[in-house]
Amino acid sequence: MRRPTNGMVSVAQNLERIHERINAALKRADRRDAVTLVVVTKTIAADRIAEACRCGVRHFGENRVQEFKEKRPLLALPSVHWHLVGHLQTNKARQAVELFDRVDSVDSVRLAEKLAHAVGGQGSKLPVLIQVHLGEEPSKHGVAPGEVEALVKQVAELETLQVEGLMTIPPFSDDPEETRPYFRQLRALAEQIERSRIPGVSMRELSMGMTNDFEVAIEEGATQVRLGTAIFGPRPAPREPKP
Ligand SMILES: *Cc1c(COP(=O)(O)O)cnc(C)c1O
């Protein structure tokens, strides 16, 4: 294997380690199914994204429409699925539909309606996940657990969207064991909704777990983990807004 020469961590080596850790977590949980690795590429340059693609990554996530719009022309990657994993403003729904293959962060009927309208008569449905807000910290993003089922029912009515499951970003903790109850809660919520048998809805995807806690998330049933730092190393800190 080539060693990185520019001081950057090797994407190939990191991916290899991550796949080992994913497989070990699946084994611990006695799971026979697979986990989709969604490599989150915000702030990452196109050449390093292409490198991850050469290493076999087929699912990528970005959290901002504008950033991805600028990056996308630099990327000609075959058979790759782009997930929008960050908050989406309703006025960017149309652009999001043009740029992304899936939206993992739907958290309101209004947004779902805008997306459905933007998909229009394209023929294929847009796969979406419902983003759930767990924990006590106030947050503008994600629907409260008590409102998820009602939202799923409303989104299920929209013919051009396909609800495939739930997504969450739990409150951050250095200790993944503190995050475990949130992962458990998301899974229980998905199971509860599955039992309601809403026509056209499946709860097969649970997008949960990031660099700090993906192994615990897999033990609790994650089918998709979203990793950035674990693959590319630390991102530059977001710039402070000007005073
Ligand atoms: C940035 C981001 C991630 C990846 O976070 P890491 O801790 O770097 O793995 C996952 N999900 C979302 C929604 C993100 O914005």
pLDDT digits (tens, 9 = 90+) for 122-147: 778 999 999 999 988 887 799 999 99
User: What's the pTM?
Assistant: 0.94
38 CA to centre of ligand 1 in angstroms: 10
40 CA to centre of ligand 1 in angstroms: 6
Flag whether pLDDT at 204 surpasses 60: yes
60 with 102: CB under 8 angstroms?
no
User: Between vectors from CA 20 to CA 15 and to CA 23, what angle results, nearest 5°?
Assistant: 120
Query: How far apart (Å, rounded) are the C-alpha atoms in residues 239 and 155?
Result: 36
Q: What separation in angstroms does the CA of 10 have from each of 1, 25, 47, 51, 166?
A: 10, 23, 13, 10, 32
Output the pLDDT for position 242: 54
User: What residue ranges line ligand 1, CB within 6 angstroms?
Assistant: 40, 42, 63, 85-86, 169, 210-212, 226-230
pLDDT tens for each residue of 221-242: 999 999 999 999 998 877 665 5
pLDDT tens for each residue of 160-197: 999 999 999 999 999 999 999 999 999 999 999 999 99
Q: Which domains does the chain have, with CATH numbers?
A: 11-231 (3.20.20.10)
Output the pLDDT for position 78: 80
87 CA to centre of ligand 1 in angstroms: 12
